Chains A and B, each alone.
Chain A
Amino acid sequence: MKIVVLIKQTPDTAELPKVAAEEVKSGTIKATMVINPWDEFAAEEAIQLAERFNGDAIALSVGAPGAVDALKHAVAMGVGSAALVDNASLRDGDIWATAALLAAAVKAQGAVDLVLTGKQSVDDNSGTVFVGVAGKLHWPLLTNVIKVREIADGVVTVERLVEGGQETVSAPLPAVISVAKEINEPRYPSFMGIRKANKASIPTLSAGDLGVVTPANKTQWTNIRKPEVRRTQVNIIGGATVQEKAAKLVDALLAEKVI
């Protein structure tokens, strides 16, 4: 069984608030770049499935040269190998163009059975790239998956979160799966894994290497801005008794039209 996990490099969540709109426009993000936290769940699942079904797990990413570090994180966790697709031909991180490159990279791996990915990235938050990948590959897509129950006879059976509950569904292989955080607890890479990852050779592929032409953008960023910072004000409600404090609080809430 061959399992591909799609990885994106994103700014460290703790540093996201510091990322300026200008940095996003120029593509030069100053924040520490790490593996997209949602993709860690996908990497963990790929490793577990590879162990469970005696398969191979391969990590793929579309990104700048530095995105190799995110792939190395996946290798340090236990993913067998990785490859980077150079994003030099991409403009503005267009979702459809990204999906086209990723789909071509998946095809280049040969007979892939499953593609796993996180539910979204912590920077763009679109949660749609995997939809494009499945569409490009013409493979079924299972989203919000919290458990891979079984893979047998060319069929994958999963449990997925839906509004108000969960459901069990099956799809023929090959398939694309996006995972939710409930699926597992991503492991911390071991020291031996980190050393293996540091020594690993991770090839960089261009669109040309993959035999595809990067599609024209379907979307364009005309303006990027950060939302206004909400100012908060703290008022300590005083009073001689609890009743008095409560009455003043109710008055304040009424005045602000909260209640």
Chain B
Amino acid sequence: MSNLPDPHASLRRHVHNLCAQFPNTYWQQIDAENAYPEAFVQAMTDAGYLAALIPEAYGGGESTLTEASVILEEINHSGGNAAVCHAQMYIMGTLLRHGSPEQKAHYLPSIAAGKLRLQAFGVTEPDAGSDTTRIRTSAVRQGDHYLINGQKIWTSRVAHSDLMLLLARTTPLEQVEKRTHGLSIFLIDLRATVGNGVTIQPIPTMINHHTAQVFFDNVQVPIENRIGEEGQGFRYLLESLNAERILIAAECIGDGRWFIERAVNYANERIVFDRPIGQNQGIQFPLARAHVNLRAADLMRHQAATLFEQQQPCGAEANMAKLLAADAAWEAANVALQTFGGFGFAREYDIERKFRETRLYQVAPISTNLILSHIAQHELGLPRSY
């Protein structure tokens, strides 16, 4: 967005060109039908974008996190919704970092080629919410397999995945020294288990998000499907979150750019009282402020990505980037809706759809309140609030 030379201009243009195949009318129809944008996801898969972060040795693009974030940003900047497929990019990170050589060799090439979709991660539960250590889904070791029982909620894209990762308790909470211990991550093959112990129950929502409850009833998972060491799942989960935060911050930046560009065009074209409405400071100032805040959020997003790529601690920056970008996108959404007036509520203008979609990032994948708690405690040294 800045006037500095953009090293990713070419990548942006290519993603933009591909997304242009899926205009706003496509997303309107998908939204109206609550359908999964299969053609779009397939096109992104075929072009290798969703395998960007997988190493070349496994058939992926071996991109930097910044490049991956540019891809997602441009999807949302085009008017699309990267949330339908973004997790295919980053959920495999846990497998890549902590999987055995056999697991990686078995799964990653097929994920990179788009033959397998791994874009669901079951973490949240109805009675645990953000208090992840209190999850109740259990995995009990029985010889060469684990027996899994429990329930997950808000597991997005699970109905459109072949594989999912699952966080489950392998040691009961009351038996562990620290509450973050005793959790483990498993790779669940949904092709074999849905209908055989795994039940997916879609949750209708205010946006077309394909999220669901997932029930596990005596599901047998081979021991070789455990990712990494038993009991270390919480640490593995935390390690995966920084990348997710930064990528989603980039999506928010894409949303914000879309809202502001749309609103500016409309403000320049819409004539009321014989002049463009954009001539009124009541319209100009909110748009200018939204633009300023978006630019600032983008700087934090890039700083967080740079730290991540340099393998430096980046938890604070990743969370701040997500908070700032989500806020900036939401501000831009509100400004755009106000600029469009009544037309903003008409579906054919897309503002209301994107408005609903970008509201999600105030809540998911992490609530902005939890980010503030984290910053207060870990960055400012204030007492733990939860």
Give A residues with C-beta under 8 Å from B: 32, 34, 69, 72-73, 76, 188-195, 197-198
Contact = CB atoms under 8 A, between A and B. Distances in A.
Nearest to A193: B48
A77 B11 CA distance: 13
28 contacts: A69-B10, A72-B10, A73-B10, A76-B10, A76-B14, A188-B14, A188-B18, A188-B43, A189-B47, A190-B46, A190-B47, A190-B48, A191-B47, A191-B48, A191-B49, A191-B52, A191-B61, A191-B63, A192-B48, A192-B61, A193-B48, A194-B10, A194-B11, A195-B61, A195-B62, A195-B63, A197-B10, A198-B10
Nearest to A197: B10
Contacts of B46: 190
| A interface SS class | helix
Contacts of A72: 10
Given A191-B48, A198-B11, 8 more contacts: A69-B10, A72-B10, A188-B47, A189-B14, A190-B48, A191-B63, A194-B11, A195-B63
Task: Assign chain B's interface to a size class.
Answer: 10 to 19
Contacts of B14: 76, 188-189, 194
Interface in B41-100: 43, 46-49, 51-52, 61-63, 71
Given A191-B63, A192-B61, A195-B63, A34 B13 contact: yes
A108 B107 CA distance: 46
B201 interface: no
B10 A191 contact: no
B59 to A, nearest CB: 9
A117 to B, nearest CB: 21
Contacts of B71: 191
Nearest to B44: A191
Interface string B276-316: 00000000000000000000000000000000000000000
Contacts of A32: 13
Nearest to A198: B10
Nearest to A72: B10
Closest 9 CB pairs of A and B: A191-B48, A190-B48, A191-B61, A191-B49, A188-B18, A190-B47, A192-B48, A192-B61, A189-B14
A35 B229 CA distance: 51
B369 interface: no
Contacts of A34: 13
A32 B6 CA distance: 13
Contacts of A76: 10, 14
A32 B62 CA distance: 28
Nearest to B49: A191
B319 to A, nearest CB: 28
Interface string B100-119: 00000000000000000000
